[in-house]
C-alpha cells in the first residue's frame, strides 16, 4: 500500500468540505450584512 495514502484521504475530505462551503456561499451572501458578521465571529 502507498505509504502516504492517508494524505490523499485528508485532501479528499478537505476538498469535499470546500465544495460544501462553496455551495453555502450563495446562501450566506444573500443574508444581510450584520448576519454575515455574526456568523464569522462565531
| pLDDT score, position 25 | 80
Count of the separate structural domains present in the chain:
1
Domain that holds residue 28: 5-41
| pLDDT score, position 42 | 66
Cβ distance 39 to 28 under 8 Å?
Answer: yes
Name which of 38, 35, 16 is nearest 27 in CA terms: 35
Cell numbers linked to 37: 458578521
pTM: 0.53
DSSP string, 15-40: HHHHHHHHHHHHHHHHS-HHHHHHHH
Regions of the chain with pLDDT less than 70: 1-2, 31-33, 36, 42
Name which of 18, 37, 17 is nearest 28 in CA terms: 37
Amino acid at each position: 500500500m502507498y505509504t502516504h495514502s492517508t494524505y490523499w484521504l485528508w485532501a479528499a475530505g478537505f476538498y469535499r468540505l470546500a465544495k460544501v462551503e462553496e455551495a453555502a456561499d450563495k446562501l450566506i451572501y444573500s443574508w444581510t450584512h450584520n448576519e454575515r458578521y455574526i456568523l464569522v465571529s462565531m
